[in-house]
Chain A
Amino acid sequence: MTDSVERAAKTPDDPQPYAELGMKPDEYNRVREILGRRPTSSELAIYSVMWSEHCSYKSSKVHLRQFGTKAPKSEALLVGMGENAGVVDIGDGWAATFKIESHNHPSYVEPHQGAATGVGGIVRDIMSMGARPVAVMDSLRFGALDAPDTRRVLPGVVEGISFYGNCLGLPNIGGELLFDDCYIGNPLVNALCVGLLRKDQIKLATAPGPGNKVVLFGARTGPDGIGGASVLASATFEDESHAKRPAVQVGDPFMEKLLIECCLELFEADVVVGIQDLGAAGVSCATTELAAKGTGGMRVDLNRVPLRDPSLLPEEILMSESQERMMAVVVPDDIDAFMAICARWDVPATVIGEVTDTGRLVMTWDGEVIVDIPPGTAADEGPVYERPYHEPSGQAALNADGPARLARPSDLRATLLSLLGSPNVASKEWVTSQYDRYVRGNTVLAMPADAGVLRIGEIMPGAEETDRGIALATDGNGRFARLDPYAGAQLALAEAYRNVAVTGARPLAVTNCLNFGSPEDPEVMWQFAEAVRGLADACKTLGVPVTGGNVSFYNQTGATAINPTPVVGVLGVLDDVGKRVRHGFTEPGLRILLLGETRDELGGSEWAHVAHRHLGGLPPEVQLEAERSLAAILVTAAERGLLVGSHDVSDGGLAVALAEAAMAHGVGGTVRLPGEDAFVDLFSESSARALVTVRPESFEEFAELCARHEVPCSNLGATGGQELRVEDVLEIPVTELRAAHQATLPATFSA
């Protein structure tokens, strides 16, 4: 029997499986208070998913507010947090929208589909802003390279990203791939998408205008991702056949590609007044959010939702997370044009309801009202928790156990080669060669460049002419954040900011994916609170606002949480993309310079990790003012054509940066270290540094620029030859560097 509103009113004492749906008793009671009766099973489905941690940010909200309150003034910010993705003005009438999101848990359960649908979901977020998605990136973390779990999860994740992203026709232009024991059983799969649109074309998730039609388009709704709803269905209907269904969604990138092209034509024809993608919480989320942000009411006939499985019950339809679906609000006069465009792209589209001004979201099933709620109570007024937090009990001891006690090597040649072959530093080509980095023809830089760079002038034919380009980088260092979450989050931002600046791009805006353990653990909550505070403070100092992002909690196995891992994405703009700077030694005879200051900072370093499996002490000092000056130099020098090459110095220090620069084009170099301790010079991970190359005739002008910005500039030597030579320290042929760098991943995964 359908659990209608009428029935609910008559049976106030019917027991409901709210606990199985993840709701706390007080949350359930609040729903009863809001409605003045018990919820129907469909209403319970809606509240349980909308008030979940994933959709409501109930544990993180109080902290995330700092991204708004501390946001630096930015004229570039067109749409800030709270929408599907932030939008940034990149000049010449163009805007960019970008966001990073986690799909960690599904990727552990079913690596291929989990990762694939992670890409699909973030791409639809970008589409729902009115943009053409133009590139993706992935920030990945796995357990130790040789762990059996990693051998199961990593190939599946890579295959899923490759399968979905390649078929979708979006170039994969960068990201990260790191390994640490703490991610065994908790891989991190964070997918980023960037889209472009004309400034005047921004679309928002809103349903204004009573009488406007609500259209569901894209894939049919099936029984995927509704593990929770099955509890409801079987509790209410005692129907065992609905109980055992896959919890992970299955992706169809072909449908998503059609959806992209279809949406772009719909936007171009101007037949959409509001749009929302269907991701987590599917129809529940799309209808409540659209209605809450619009005129306030919506009527939906759930029988009209096209189904892949005709036996689906209303609760399941509401919670289904079937992929490749979108919801649009369309003026009645435009419906025919809307449907014609969908038909041209073979995209099924169905009017399932209309906008009202009643302030209620009303849904019917077989003629009976099964949902009648104020939509804002589900979408925006979920519970908010001030979770308790305190510094972890072992934190002081961890910080006291610095790297000073670690034996330092005498053979720096062997140290460099072992670092180059270590999983975190090793070439990721085995992975990145499975991604299409060229499709759409606008890729200027991609892996292993410090940041992905795209030309934007030719992305949409017929649009404004521009020479501009965008650069994007993601970074995050869980070890640094474990040692000091406040500084660790700032270092992640600083590195991504620097990685964008080394290409010559001016950093503009930030997205973030905050991966943590359980918020119910006060020690984890402390890490989270500190990381958010650090990131918000640093964004303010660097003048780059957070435009949006995602929080992923509960990344833990038993009582053991992952290292706190804030992943930060930075978007920058190049006024003339033709002036982009590459990271390697491109030709012989260039001056090699080190910018910034190197101190004895090895806490949490790659060397301590590889040589001693040690994590302790403090991370490198955060130097935001120095980062700002460094970026100013890099951007100005690139604009003036003074820089030939420019590379971030971070993981593995100057030694790894030099090796990577030499390997990029097979051009070696000879350098003399500026400091007194060769080991510190080569392997310290002090922040705010870059390795650059300039032509000898540009050196004076460049040095003067550095002096003006008070950034130390050390003249290390010159490019050329077949070897990397560090005078009096080491000499390694580039071929040997490459052999060490390239062997590691294939040895594990191609064997």
Chain B
Amino acid sequence: MGAARVGVVTFPGTLDDQDAARAIRHAGGEAVSLWHADRDLRGVDAVFLPGGFSYGDYLRCGAISRFAPLMEELVPAANAGLPVLGTCNGFQILCEAHLLPGALTRNVGLHYVCRDQRVRVENATTAWTGDYAPGQELLLPVKHGEGRYVADQATIESLEASGRVVVRYLDVNPNGSTNFIAGVSNEAGNVVGLMPHPEHAVEELTGAPSVDGRGFFTSILKRFVNL
């Protein structure tokens, strides 16, 4: 069979789409551009929602994008098991679309933060983290102004109890997220949202001083090779 096809969605104002596509190619997959205004997932095996400022993020981040025509296709597909990874603005959109619980609010300190952040993989069984060892520590960049993960107490407890906190910040909480949460998944583990940017940590030469982000891409690709 050919390489797995991973869709990369571009909304107006999406910024990291080219980076995500490159990371997918480097991992051996085929990156397929998906356009926000098309009701068409082009038969992809998985979808990556990259970071950026969709629609300028002048309203609540992701609040407009969730109504994009493409999302009308994506939401039922994700509920039916299509693997979806949203990073940064992509994570915000997944929360707004209710594919993931909780919300991402303004960073504590009220500043945009771009830093190389140590994180720990708390759940290595999701569609996007299978290639990591449980508890593996990674260095990934974060870069956002609104990445403080919040949810009601019951939701947080249930996420923690059911292993749906996928990635957690170490050392420093860059945005004030509840329980240092950096990423969560849905119940089935096919939909994952992350504030850090694995696509900026896949090459020795560029981006963060680490290649620890590769695992997110190899995880999803291996899954399809094994199918």
Contact = CB atoms under 8 A, between A and B. Distances in A.
B76 interface: no
A520 interface: no
B31 to A, nearest CB: 10
B18 A441 contact: yes
Interface in B186-207: 197, 199-200, 203, 205-207
B25 to A, nearest CB: 9
Contacts of B206: 441-444, 455
Given A441-B19, A461-B18, A434 B200 contact: no
22 contacts: A162-B111, A169-B15, A169-B16, A169-B52, A169-B53, A253-B53, A253-B56, A254-B57, A255-B56, A257-B53, A432-B114, A434-B112, A435-B112, A438-B114, A440-B15, A441-B22, A441-B203, A455-B205, A455-B206, A577-B205, A580-B205, A750-B109
A562 B160 CA distance: 58
B38 to A, nearest CB: 11
Contact of A458 (B13, B22, B53, B208): B22
B159 interface: no
Contacts of B53: 166-167, 169, 253-254, 257
Nearest to A459: B18
B49 to A, nearest CB: 15
Given A254-B57, A455-B206, 13 more contacts: A166-B143, A167-B13, A254-B53, A433-B113, A434-B112, A436-B114, A439-B15, A439-B16, A441-B22, A441-B203, A443-B207, A444-B205, A461-B18
Given A254-B55, A258-B13, A433 B114 contact: yes
A641 interface: no
Interface in B45-100: 52-53, 55-58
Contacts of B56: 167, 252-255
Contacts of B109: 750
Given A253-B53, A254-B58, A345-B12, A440 B143 contact: no
A120 to B, nearest CB: 13
Contacts of B23: 441
Interface string A653-667: 000000000000000
Nearest to A580: B205
Interface string A456-468: 0010010000000
A680 B20 CA distance: 50
Nearest to A454: B206
In this complex, the member of B16, B21, B207 whose beta carbon has the largest number of chain A beta carbons within 10 angstroms is B207
**A interface, size bucket:** 20 to 34
Contacts of B55: 254
A443 B111 CA distance: 22
B141 interface: yes
A384 B200 CA distance: 50
A689 interface: no
A482 interface: no
A439 B12 contact: no
A195 to B, nearest CB: 15
Contacts of A432: 114
B197 A438 contact: yes
Interface string B140-154: 010101000000000
Contacts of B16: 169, 439, 441
B10 to A, nearest CB: 9
**B interface, size bucket:** 20 to 34
Contacts of A443: 206-207
Nearest to A170: B15
B176 to A, nearest CB: 14
A163 B141 CA distance: 18
A166 B16 CA distance: 11
A434 B111 contact: yes
Nearest to B209: A665
A199 B111 CA distance: 39
A605 B22 CA distance: 46
Interface in A244-266: 252-255, 257-258
In this complex, the member of B13, B58, B114 whose beta carbon has the largest number of chain A beta carbons within 10 angstroms is B114
Contact of A257 (B13, B205, B207, B208): B13
A434 B12 contact: no
A441 B207 contact: yes
Nearest to A442: B206
Contacts, number: 88
A164 B117 CA distance: 24
Contacts of B12: 254, 257-258, 345-346
Contacts of B208: 438
Nearest to B207: A438
Nearest to A253: B56
A588 interface: no
B115 interface: yes
Contacts of A442: 206
A12 interface: no
Contacts of A166: 53, 112, 143, 145
A750 B53 CA distance: 26
A506 B198 CA distance: 32
Interface in B164-217: 197, 199-200, 203, 205-208
A128 to B, nearest CB: 21
A439 B112 contact: no
A567 B34 CA distance: 43
Contacts of B207: 438, 441, 443
Contacts of A750: 109
A159 B21 CA distance: 30
A437 interface: yes
Interface string B26-53: 0000000000000000000000000011
Interface in A729-751: 750
A442 B22 CA distance: 11
Contact of B143 (A159, A254, A436, A441): A436
A254 B52 CA distance: 10
Contacts of B143: 166, 436, 438-439
A93 interface: no
A437 B56 CA distance: 19
B19 A440 contact: yes
A172 to B, nearest CB: 9
B76 to A, nearest CB: 26
A578 B205 contact: yes
Contacts of A436: 112, 114, 143
A253 B207 CA distance: 23
Contacts of A252: 56
Interface in B104-134: 109, 111-115
In this complex, the member of A255, A433, A435, A455 whose beta carbon has the largest number of chain B beta carbons within 10 angstroms is A433
In this complex, the member of A254, A432, A441, A580 whose beta carbon has the largest number of chain B beta carbons within 10 angstroms is A441
Interface in A396-452: 432-444
A577 B114 CA distance: 24
Given A169-B52, A345-B12, A440-B19, A435 B205 contact: no
A162 to B, nearest CB: 5
A541 to B, nearest CB: 34
B68 to A, nearest CB: 12
